[in-house]
Amino acid sequence: MNAKKLAGEKAVEFIKDGMIVGLGTGSTVHWSILKLGELVKQSLTIKGVPTSKQTEQLAKELGIPLVNMSSIEQIDITIDGADEANPEFELIKGGGGALLREKMVASISKRMIVVMDETKYVAHLGKFPLPVEITQFGWEMTSKQVSTLGCEPKLRVENNLSFITDNGNYILDCHFGEILDAKRLNEELNMIPGVVENGLFVNIADTMVIGNSDGHVEIIHK
C-alpha cells in the first residue's frame, strides 16, 4: 500500500471549484498534483501557484492553469509535504531544496494542508537535519554563525557540486539533534545575515493528512 499516494490523493478532497491552490514540492504532494491534473481534465476549475520549477513543469504537463504570485493577494489552500511534523503542527521542510518558495506560498495561504506518510510524523523535530537556505556570498562565514546556535552545518552537495536552489542560493543541512523550541530557533536563524530562510514551519500548517502502510489515512486538524 503506497502511504504517500493515499495521503496525497486524500488531501485533494479539500479543494473546491474556483480555488487558488498552492502546489508544494516533493514525493508525497506529487500524488496530489497528479490527482488535481485528473480533476482539471474532468472540469475542476482552479489556478495553481507552484513552489518550485519542478512543480511548475509538472503542473504545465498536466494542464493545470498557473497564476503568478505577483498577481494575487491570497491563496485559498496550499498542499505540501514535510520531512518531519510533530503534534504541535511544527514542520521541518526543505529536503527537496524548495523551502523558501514553499514558505512564501504557505504564508499567504488561508489554509495549509500537510501530506505525509506515517514515518514523517514524530514526537520531536530534529532527527532530520534542518535545511537552511543561505546566500552564496560569504557562505563560510554564515555557516560559522549558524553553528554557534548548536549544530553542525554541512553544505549540501549533489553530484559532487554545491546544490543550488531555484533562487540561486546554497543550502546548509544542520544537525541540531532534538529541537525543543522551534519558534525561537526559527527566529534566531533568520536573524543571521546571509541566512535567507530556514525549513522550520511554525504556526503555518492547519491540517495534517497522514497515510499509513495499512491503507488507513488519518486527518488531524489544528
Q: Which residues are catalytic?
A: 102
End-to-end CA distance of the chain: 27
If residue 196 lies in a helix (H) or strand (E), which one and from where to where? strand 195-198
Per-residue pLDDT of the chain (222 residues; tens, 9 = 90+): 799 999 999 999 999 999 999 999 999 999 999 999 999 999 999 999 999 999 999 999 999 999 999 999 999 999 999 999 999 999 999 999 999 999 999 999 999 999 999 999 999 999 999 999 999 999 999 999 999 999 999 999 999 999 999 999 999 999 999 999 999 999 999 999 999 999 999 999 999 999 999 999 999 999
Q: What residues does CATH 3.40.50.1360 cover in the chain?
A: 3-122+202-214
Cβ-based neighbours of 81, under 8 Å, separated by 6 or more: 24, 25, 26, 27, 28, 29, 93, 114, 115, 116, 120
Whole-number Cα distances in Å, 71 to 15, 50, 64, 75, 168: 21, 14, 17, 11, 23
Q: What residues does CATH 3.30.70.260 cover in the chain?
A: 130-198
Binding-site residue ranges: 25-28, 80-83, 93-96, 120
Condensed to tens digits (0 to 9), the pLDDT of residues 172-214 reads: 999 999 999 999 999 999 999 999 999 999 999 999 999 999 9
Instruction: Name the CATH architecture for the domain at 130-198.
Output: 2-Layer Sandwich (3.30)
Binding-site residue ranges for substrate: 25-28, 80-83, 93-96, 120
Residue bearing cell 498577481: 71
- Domain 3-122+202-214 belongs to what topology? Rossmann fold (3.40.50)
Predicted local confidence at residue 87, as pLDDT = 98
Residue type for position 178:
E
The model carries a pTM of 0.96
- Rounded to whole angstroms, the Cα distance separating 187 from 61 reads 38
Cβ-based neighbours of 140, under 8 Å, separated by 6 or more: none
